[in-house]
């Protein structure tokens, strides 16, 4: 284990961790406990993942082969669906495990390829297969479209799925299976890359399915997929139209999320949040390249930006969860999605806490490969939490300062594993959340993503990493960005609604541009063409192109009273193409 080498390098009497000195004997006992937990929980986690995959998963009985259920939970909450994002991140973990030698997973991976190829043909509320439908976030487990109200589209699924399958395709090519890679796997990847090229600069819902704007997670996943997809296309003598041109522009756009001290995870949206969101940490671990330097532009785990962001995000949870009370600065805490979260009253998530650990293990791997750690003004506060006497500078591998930094970072990472250990039940089952006051598991039980997150964190802890995706030659943004202005369509809403003097009509819906269902932010319609025989209210509003959404009209009286039209919500998909236009014609219900 990594721990043995850095323990030997420390003074014999004490191991210095932040501002506290811990006897080596006590630390070794704690370390043995973490080692044992990682070993046992990794075994539980791989079984937990496989149990949630059809057709033979013990908790996915009757589910088609290769389909990943998010959780067996069917009520409070109902997660018995297959999400494109969750499935892709889960299979990325499985494919990396397969590439590392677990040949038992081959059939499961081929079944995933087939399942995703089928889902790509299913028309759904986000659109048809070739007109936006790949942005549909979830499907029924029987592979039919989910047609209920939801935050759609979500544009992270296609690039995440492409990344998982690119890793597999590269393995196939290296092992004499180029024909299968080209004829079966590539067509799935190509469709996802085509979607990414078309929609990368359009807003959509974030990975938490709450914010409709520009998501850092989506953009960073898209950049990686386009880079490695273009390279795979060349290897297979295929065409990846637009991939090589779009990738650097996506990277250029990603720089817009950096505030100077942390990543604002969602921009081009007025969500009332700081933007400190574990979304950004998950982005960093997804786009981790073991061959990369500590590149700020791609927010590599060891980059100064990513480390400063790690501190900003994790520190934001120190005072909002009771179970974090009394934990000193520089010590691991339970981590949630974002500190303003209200879902289930806002709690830590297992996968979020594990992501905080995984970024640090990945950073340690990168420093070991590079042979040095650089501390600059951006990352200094992060390092001073762990090594209070540290100063800016570059510290070479083998120096006492380098050794102190690496030991402190790895111990800090183990602290996040210890938090998960503390709040994991004795059977090892990982739910979605754990209570912020008591630590009891909450929300969906046996969350597939939680198990997958444990597997990747455990791998990074032992120095097991995935293949390079080409970051070292694709990490320089252009000097100027193009195509990063939102791609909008002009939609004219026409509704016939008879009103009385003093009443006005508004349109409101699930898009940010339509007020996110908030009547106070609804868009007013004009009555300039209103007549008794044609009570027309209308307005032309810029909305994201090729985007499915739901909406309603409301009346507001002169006193401010709001009247909603009757159910159900209405749905519409905006026209394709930047600057396109279309009209909606409705009658008040």
Same fold, 1-51+288-468 and 78-272: yes
Q: Collapse the DSSP code of 492 into the 3-class scheme (helix H, G, I; strand E, B; otherwise coil) and give the result.
A: strand
Query: Cβ distance 381 to 311 under 8 Å?
Result: yes
What the block records as the tokens of 459 is: 């791998």
Tokens 């973490």, residue located: 34
- Report whether pLDDT(383) > 90: yes
| Tens digit of each residue's pLDDT (9 = 90 or more) over 40-60 | 999 999 999 999 999 999 999
Please, is 334 exposed, middle or buried when counting C-beta atoms within 10 Å of its C-beta (0-12, 13-18, 19+)? buried
Predicted local distance difference test score (pLDDT) of residue 169: 98
Query: CATH number for the 488-587 domain, one of 1.10.3720.10, 2.40.37.10, 2.60.40.10, 3.40.50.12170?
Result: 2.60.40.10
Q: Does domain 1-51+288-468 have CATH number 3.30.830.10?
A: no
- Tell me 519's DSSP state: G
Lowest mean pLDDT among 8-17, 235-244, 254-263, 363-372: 8-17
Residues 6+ positions from 121 with CB-CB distance below 8 Å: 129
| Tens digit of each residue's pLDDT (9 = 90 or more) over 102-121 | 999 999 999 999 999 999 99
Region 164-169: mean pLDDT is 98
H or E stretch at 485: none
Residue 463: count of CB within 10 angstroms of its CB: 14
Residue scoring higher pLDDT (149 or 492):
492
Q: What does the domain layout of the chain look like in residue ranges?
A: 1-51+288-468, 78-272, 488-587
- Parallel, antiparallel, or unpaired: how do β-strands 548-556 and 562-564 relate? antiparallel
pLDDT bracket for residue 360 (50, 70, 90): very high
- Report whether pLDDT(24) > 60: no
| Nearest to 285, CA basis, from 376, 354, 370 | 354
β-pair partners for 50: none
| Nearest to 160, CA basis, from 127, 141, 139, 134 | 134
What the block records as the tokens of 350 is: 């297992």
Give the separation between CA 562 and CA 448, rounded to whole angstroms.
42
Region 496-518: mean pLDDT is 91
pLDDT bracket for residue 418 (50, 70, 90): very high
List phi, psi (to 5°) of 363.
-60, -45
pLDDT bracket for residue 512 (50, 70, 90): confident
- To the question of whether residue 588 is assigned a binding role by annotation, the answer is no
Region 175-192: mean pLDDT is 97
List phi, psi (to 5°) of 545.
-65, 150
β-pair partners for 507: 523, 553
Interior CA angle at 580 toward 574 and 581, to 5°? Answer: 70
Give the separation between CA 326 and CA 27, rounded to whole angstroms.
20
CATH number of 78-272: 1.50.10.10
Burial 409-420 (b: 16+ CB within 10 A, else e): bbbbbbbbbbbb
Catalytic residues: 206, 209
Predicted local distance difference test score (pLDDT) of residue 21: 43
């Amino acid at each position: 284990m990594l721990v043995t080498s850095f323990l030997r390098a420390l003074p014999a009497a004490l191991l210095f961790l932040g501002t506290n000195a811990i006897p080596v004997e006590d630390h070794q006992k704690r370390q043995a406990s973490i080692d044992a937990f990682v070993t046992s929980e990794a075994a539980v986690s791989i079984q937990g993942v496989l149990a949630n995959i059809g057709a033979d998963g013990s908790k996915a009985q009757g589910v088609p082969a290769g389909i990943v259920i998010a959780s067996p939970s069917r009520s409070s909450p109902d997660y018995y669906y297959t999400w494109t994002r969750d499935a892709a991140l889960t299979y990325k973990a499985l494919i990396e495990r397969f590439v590392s030698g677990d040949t038992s997973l081959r059939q499961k991976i081929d079944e995933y390829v087939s399942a995703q190829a089928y889902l790509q043909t299913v028309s759904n509320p986000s659109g048809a297969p070739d007109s936006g439908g790949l942005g549909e976030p979830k499907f029924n487990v029987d592979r039919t479209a989910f047609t209920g109200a939801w935050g759609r589209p979500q544009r992270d699924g296609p690039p995440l799925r492409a990344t998982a399958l690119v890793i597999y395709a590269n393995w196939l090519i290296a092992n004499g299976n180029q024909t299968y890679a080209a004829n079966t796997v590539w067509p799935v990847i190509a469709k996802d890359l085509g979607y990414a090229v078309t929609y990368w600069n359009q807003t959509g819902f974030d990975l938490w399915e709450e914010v409709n704007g520009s998501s850092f997670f989506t953009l960073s996943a898209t950049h990686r997929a386009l880079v490695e997809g273009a390279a795979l296309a060349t290897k297979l003598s295929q065409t990846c139209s637009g991939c090589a041109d779009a990738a650097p522009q996506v990277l250029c756009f990603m720089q817009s999320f950096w505030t100077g001290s942390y990543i604002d995870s969602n921009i081009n949206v007025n969500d009332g949040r700081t933007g400190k969101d574990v979304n950004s940490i998950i982005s960093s671990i997804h786009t981790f390249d073991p061959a990369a330097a500590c590149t700020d532009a791609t927010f590599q785990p060891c980059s100064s930006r990513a480390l400063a962001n790690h501190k900003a995000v994790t520190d934001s949870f120190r005072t909002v969860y009771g179970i974090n009370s009394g934990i000193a600065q520089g010590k691991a805490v339970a981590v949630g999605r974002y500190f303003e979260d209200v879902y289930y009253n806002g709690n830590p998530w297992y996968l979020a806490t594990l992501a905080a650990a995984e970024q640090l293990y990945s950073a340690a791997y990168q420093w070991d490969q590079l042979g040095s750690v650089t501390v600059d003004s951006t990352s200094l506060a992060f390092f001073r939490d762990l090594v209070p006497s540290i100063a800016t500078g570059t510290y070479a591998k083998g120096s006492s300062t380098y050794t102190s930094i690496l030991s402190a970072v790895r111990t800090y990472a183990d602290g996040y594993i210890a938090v998960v250990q503390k709040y994991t039940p004795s059977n090892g089952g990982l739910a979605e959340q754990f209570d912020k006051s008591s630590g009891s598991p909450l929300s969906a039980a046996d969350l597939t993503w939680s198990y997958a997150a444990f597997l990747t964190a455990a791998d990074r802890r032992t120095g097991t990493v995935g293949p390079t995706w080409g970051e070292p030659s694709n990490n320089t943004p252009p000097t100027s960005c193009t195509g990063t202005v939102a791609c909008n369509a002009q939609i004219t809403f026409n509704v016939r609604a008879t009103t009385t003097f003093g009443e006005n009509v508004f349109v409101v819906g699930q898009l940010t541009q339509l007020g996110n269902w908030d009547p106070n932010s609804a868009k007013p319609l004009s009555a300039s063409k209103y007549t008794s025989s044609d009570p027309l209210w209308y307005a032309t509003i810029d909305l994201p192109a090729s985007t499915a959404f739901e909406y309603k009209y409301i009346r507001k009286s002169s006193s401010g009273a709001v009247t909603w039209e009757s159910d159900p919500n209405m749905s519409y998909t905006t026209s394709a193409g930047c600057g396109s236009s279309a009209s909606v014609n409705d009658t008040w219900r």
